[in-house]
Amino acid sequence: MSEKESGGDFRYAVGESKVPWHAVGEFYDGKDAVEMVKFLLPATGDPAYAAQTEKVAEEIKKLAEVGGKATKLTLGRKVAEAEQISRSYFGSKYACFLDNWTGGMEIAYKLAGIGPGDEIIMPAITFIATMAYPLSVGAKIVFADVDPETINLDPADVARKITPKTKMIVPVHLGGCPVDMDPIMELAAKHDIIVMEDAAHGMGGAYKGKKLGAIGHFGGFSLHEVKNINSFGEGGILLSNEDWAGPQFPGARFLGLDFSRKIKDWLYDISPLTDRYGKPQVALNHSATEIQALGLLLQMQRLDQIIAMRKAAAEYMNSVLSQEDGILVEKADTAETYSTHHLYLLRIDPEKVGGNIQQLSKKLAEKGLTNITHFGPMYRFKIMKDLGYDENAIAATCPVTEKMFYHSYTHLPLYPLTREQLEYQAQAVVEAVREMKQGK
Ligand SMILES: *Cc1c(COP(=O)(O)O)cnc(C)c1O
């Protein structure tokens, strides 16, 4: 494999030798491998644990005597393999495996040439990571309202908020539920706007025959530990089909190191990224480790199965909750759109229930349920006020966001809940709603 294919860093660019260059780094050994196993499979208090780990330690010691040592720990074969599999699974021409998805979005924003004064349209409800880079360079975030059924970006409101300064639209497939992408791609084509899909929860979902993340000019996934598929805690994948952008991914990930060129008497050159407007941009470091890539490869083997389990859990929640008046169940998959069912979107009709979602959430917490309400209106955070945004003026342009967030929705977990936990959760929601109806 050439350095270019691996996305190359400098450590192996010197080739084979009797005294290897990689010897400048400390190696891991058998003892470290035992600790790694114990970390992934920690003690639970079962008295058999100590004896079992002892056995494993002995076997690993024997293995270490006959095995070699991993010498390539970052940007090597596993990273290349993760990218290869991503290209074929998502049907995307270019794929880049990175430290996290916030880094992937930074690269896409940079290649799209986002700078001060440019406008980026995104849903008012997402996670701060979606807007971190544009805010950091003085671009302006324009919040579009959400669809009350999915809490996803509403294409009709995007259309209303496009101006000559709009440079990007960033749909977020919240909870893995596909955004209605066709009207967004049409608007983008009409106004020459770049679309980046934040598919942080969407790995494996699909919209009209295309995988989420592979529909826009850019798209990608978070592999953080709380996502539907992860890579030992942190990770991300950036996808593109664009020939002006994709070939720049390896340089964008690792400080612009360019092995296709060399300065005199040295191994490589440093090239800037060339953004959409032909301007140079400076690359930072978003390299990911081989262990992270291994984590992704292992979980990707069971991705379809994971989604099937989540879907079955969501269907169960729908079947129970649809019995109770005032609870609005999650949108089901259709022949054209498949959610990853990363989170269950629970909505209520406050009038029928006689109270709002804040009251319901409190009741659910008392019954021992975790509800994940951390996707809130972005314009309410202190950082926005400090940067000069007027939260109330923005709120007035996002009435559905206001109504849904304060009165109607929350997210519940689906998997890997056990059947018992899932049944308890569904029943608890029904009971809490009944109590509210009785004014309790
Ligand atoms: C998790 C998340 C991200 C950021 O992903 P990281 O890999 O943690 O950087 C971006 N957008 C949304 C909607 C997320 O939930």
Give tens-digit pLDDT for 232-255: 999 999 999 999 999 999 999 999
- pLDDT band per the 50, 70, 90 thresholds, residue 53: very high
The answer to whether the CB of 101 is under 6 A from ligand 1 is: yes
Say if residue 5's pLDDT is above 50.
no
The answer to whether the CB of 126 is under 6 A from ligand 1 is: yes
Q: Give mean pLDDT, residues 303-311.
A: 96
Say if residue 108's pLDDT is above 80.
yes
The label of the residue with tokens 């859990």 reads 313
Closest CA to 178 of 142, 145, 214, 144: 214
Element (H or E) spanning 426, and its range? Answer: helix 419-437
Per-position b or e across 245-278, b if 16+ CB within 10 A of its CB: bbebbbbbbbebbbbeeeeeeeebeeeebbbbee
The answer to whether the CB of 198 is under 6 A from ligand 1 is: yes
For residue 97 the two structure tokens come to: 């495996």
Say if residue 373's pLDDT is above 70.
no
Say if residue 268's pLDDT is above 90.
no
Say if residue 415's pLDDT is above 80.
yes
Q: For the chain, how big is the Rg over CA atoms in Å?
A: 24
**C-alpha of residue 101 to centroid of ligand 1, in Å:** 6
Q: Give mean pLDDT, residues 311-322.
A: 98
CB 105 within 8 A of CB 26: no
- pLDDT band per the 50, 70, 90 thresholds, residue 4: very low
**C-alpha of residue 85 to centroid of ligand 1, in Å:** 21
Q: Give mean pLDDT, residues 271-289.
A: 97
In this predicted structure, what is the pLDDT of residue 69?
A: 87
In this predicted structure, what is the pLDDT of residue 22?
A: 63
Residue with CA at minimum distance from ligand 1 atom 6? 101
In this predicted structure, what is the pLDDT of residue 411?
A: 95
Q: Give mean pLDDT, residues 350-366.
A: 95
In this predicted structure, what is the pLDDT of residue 365?
A: 94
Prediction pTM value: 0.95
In this predicted structure, what is the pLDDT of residue 27?
A: 85
Say if residue 173's pLDDT is above 50.
yes
In this predicted structure, what is the pLDDT of residue 9?
A: 56
In this predicted structure, what is the pLDDT of residue 11?
A: 54
Residue with CA at minimum distance from ligand 1 atom 10? 129
The label of the residue with tokens 């809940």 reads 417
- The answer to whether the Cα torsion of 286, 290, 294, 300 is positive or negative is positive
In this predicted structure, what is the pLDDT of residue 3?
A: 38
For residue range 64-76, list pLDDT tens digits in order: 999 988 888 999 9
In this predicted structure, what is the pLDDT of residue 21?
A: 66
Find the Cα–Cα–Cα–Cα dihedral 275, 280, 281, 283, rounded to 10°.
110
**C-alpha of residue 127 to centroid of ligand 1, in Å:** 7
For residue 20 the two structure tokens come to: 């290897």
Closest CA to 348 of 405, 398, 399: 405
Lowest-confidence range among 68-82, 191-205, 276-290, 311-325? 68-82
Say if residue 62's pLDDT is above 70.
yes
What percent of the chain shows pLDDT beyond 70? 95
In this predicted structure, what is the pLDDT of residue 224?
A: 97
Distance, CA of 174 to chain centre = 10
Distance of alpha carbon 39 from alpha carbon 33, whole angstroms: 10
Pairing of strands 119-123, 166-169: parallel
In this predicted structure, what is the pLDDT of residue 374?
A: 66
For residue range 207-231, list pLDDT tens digits in order: 999 999 999 999 999 999 999 999 9
Q: Give mean pLDDT, residues 320-335.
A: 96
- pLDDT band per the 50, 70, 90 thresholds, residue 13: very low
Instruction: Please enumerate in sequence order all residues whose Cβ is within 8 A of that of 241, keeping only pairs 6 or more positions apart, or say none.
Output: 92, 93, 94, 214, 217
Closest CA to 270 of 279, 261, 174: 261
Task: Tell which one of 98, 101, 177, 237 to mutate to probe ligand 1, the residue whose CB is within 8 A of the most ligand atoms.
Answer: 101
Residues in the chain, overall count: 440
What percent of the chain shows pLDDT beyond 90? 88
Say if residue 45's pLDDT is above 60.
yes
Indicate the residue type of 414.
L
Distance of alpha carbon 299 from alpha carbon 351, whole angstroms: 43
Question: Which atom of ligand 1 is nearest to 104's Cα?
Answer: 9
